């Protein structure tokens, strides 16, 4: 077996199970799980209908590049959503089986281990653990860029040493961020593009939370690149229907951006064996073409934030995020103690922030925080907030 597998760390939810080992919460309190970012709102009916009406697709081998109809639907959505020229559906759009598999496999296609020095992959910290695993299994060295409150929870690119930039081949960006919900500004993007143009690295922009916002839609990576007059050079975006349309089980997303990068990535994928089912493709095209269900989804999340924030803010240091469905709450005691004791006493599951980050540059930037995923129904979110408040008042 590959020795690189030994470099992988346990996933946060495995650590959470170990943290809760031996605890028996009060059975009179129904369990409320706000630890995992899995949407619980109903899937839109048009997607269900699209699946049923296209079951004949199960009898066909899918093309790795996806159908013309799906690529055109995605291209048209990008143009509407970001106000830019529609990407070329044939060269600048590629359907994938959810953003997770693409975020991982893209690194395997990009990283070049020739040359005598170990390549570097930059990741925000805290981060989605796929970034780290993708870097390690591609033979690269992960470098963690801390996202701290004093820097708006954005990566401080200017803190990265020049010798690291010189070895960097790939930078993962997550905006809106997981777990903080922070959104990169045009100035943030401009600085990163300047560095990319200087050092030649590729930018992988993870935007799977882009459609969960309250007021203005978050700025996207392709949108920022076009606004700054650099086209789509050395940047690709990753998006998904999982959060936008509440269909995580469909595993449907896309990669869009630099045509030269996607040409090589498509070649990789033809060997990777990851073509999307024609049935899923047909339903996905319908989802990308409809905004009504997405607006309703945002309305439901907005109602949760409006109900929960007044309950939590008197006892926790927490602000509503720029976007996404997470709260990034500062804890009055160590985050692992907070999560363990809350589970034991209130039967509510949250995720310790330290499990979502790595010790880097002298600190773990997730320590002292918990991630609260407002994915449960409104009533459960309100009940969980009330239990958290009572717990905080006791500690």
Q: What pLDDT is attached to residue 350?
A: 98
Q: What is the pLDDT of residues 47-78, one digit of tens each?
A: 999 999 999 999 999 999 999 999 999 999 99
Reported as half-sphere exposure (CB side, CA atoms, 13 A), residue 202 has a value of 23
| Percent of the chain whose predicted confidence (pLDDT) is above 90 | 98
Residue 115 pLDDT > 90: no
What b/e readout covers 122-140, taking b as 16+ CB neighbours within 10 angstroms?
bbbbbbbbbbbbbbbbbeb
> Across residues 161-168, what is the average pLDDT?
98
Q: How confident is the model at residue 270 (pLDDT cuts 50, 70, 90)?
A: very high
Measured CA distances, 237 to 6, 271, 350 (Å) = 30, 22, 29
CB atoms within 10 A of CB 7: 13
> So what's the pLDDT on residue 281?
98
pLDDT value, residue 211: 98
Domains defined for the chain, CATH in brackets: 3-42+293-394 (3.90.1150.10), 45-290 (3.40.640.10)
CA distance 51 to 68: 18
Could you tell me whether strands 93-96 and 253-257 are parallel, antiparallel, or unpaired per DSSP bridges?
antiparallel
**Do β-strands 93-96 and 120-125 pair in parallel, antiparallel, or remain unpaired?**
unpaired
Query: pTM of the predicted model, to two decimals?
Result: 0.97
For residue 10, how many other CB atoms are within 10 A of its CB? 12
- Report how far residue 102's alpha carbon sits from residue 238's, in angstroms, rounded to the nearest whole number: 8
What does the pLDDT read at residue 50? Answer: 97
Average pLDDT, the chain: 97
What one-character DSSP code corresponds to residue 240?
A: E
In angstroms, rounded to a whole number, what is the distance separating the alpha carbons of residues 183 and 192?
14
> Which tokens go with 161?
């040493």
pLDDT at 293: 98
């Amino acid at each position: 077996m590959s020795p690189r597998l030994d470099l992988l760390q346990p996933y946060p939810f495995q650590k959470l199970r170990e943290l809760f080992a031996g605890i028996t919460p009060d059975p009179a309190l129904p369990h409320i799980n706000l630890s995992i970012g899995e949407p619980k709102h109903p899937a839109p009916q048009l997607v269900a209908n699209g699946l049923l009406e296209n079951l004949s697709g199960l009898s066909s081998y899918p093309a790795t590049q996806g159908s013309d109809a799906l690529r055109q639907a995605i291209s048209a959505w990008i143009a509407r959503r970001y106000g830019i020229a529609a990407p070329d559906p044939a060269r600048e759009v590629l359907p994938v089986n959810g953003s997770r598999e693409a975020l991982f496999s893209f690194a395997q296609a990009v990283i070049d281990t020739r040359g005598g020095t170990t390549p570097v992959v930059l990741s925000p910290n805290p981060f989605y653990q796929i970034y780290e695993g993708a870097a390690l299994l591609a033979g690269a060295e992960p470098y963690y860029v801390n996202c701290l409150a004093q820097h708006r929870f954005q990566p401080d690119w200017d803190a990265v040493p020049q010798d690291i930039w010189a070895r960097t081949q790939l930078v993962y960006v997550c905006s809106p961020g997981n777990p903080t919900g922070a959104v990169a500004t045009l100035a943030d993007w401009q600085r990163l593009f300047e560095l990319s143009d200087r050092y030649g690295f590729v930018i992988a922009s993870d935007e799977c939370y882009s459609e969960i916002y309250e007021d203005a839609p978050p700025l996207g990576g392709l949108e920022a690149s076009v606004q700054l007059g650099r086209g789509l050079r050395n940047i690709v975006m990753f998006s998904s229907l999982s959060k936008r349309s509440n269909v995580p089980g469909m595993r449907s997303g896309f990669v869009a951006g630099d045509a030269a990068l996607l040409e090589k990535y498509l070649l990789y994928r033809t060997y990777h064996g990851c073509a999307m089912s024609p049935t899923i493709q047909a339903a996905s095209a319908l989802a990308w073409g409809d905004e009504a269900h997405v607006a309703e989804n945002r309305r439901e999340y907005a109602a949760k934030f409006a109900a929960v924030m007044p309950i939590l803010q008197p006892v926790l240091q927490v602000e509503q995020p720029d976007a996404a469905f997470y709260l990034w709450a500062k804890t009055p005691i160590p985050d692992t103690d907070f999560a363990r004791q809350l589970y034991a006493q209130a039967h509510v599951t949250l995720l310790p922030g330290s499990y979502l980050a790595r010790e880097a540059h002298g600190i773990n930037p997730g320590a002292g925080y918990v991630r609260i995923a407002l994915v449960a129904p409104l009533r459960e979110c309100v009940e969980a907030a009330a239990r958290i408040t009572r717990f905080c008042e006791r500690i």
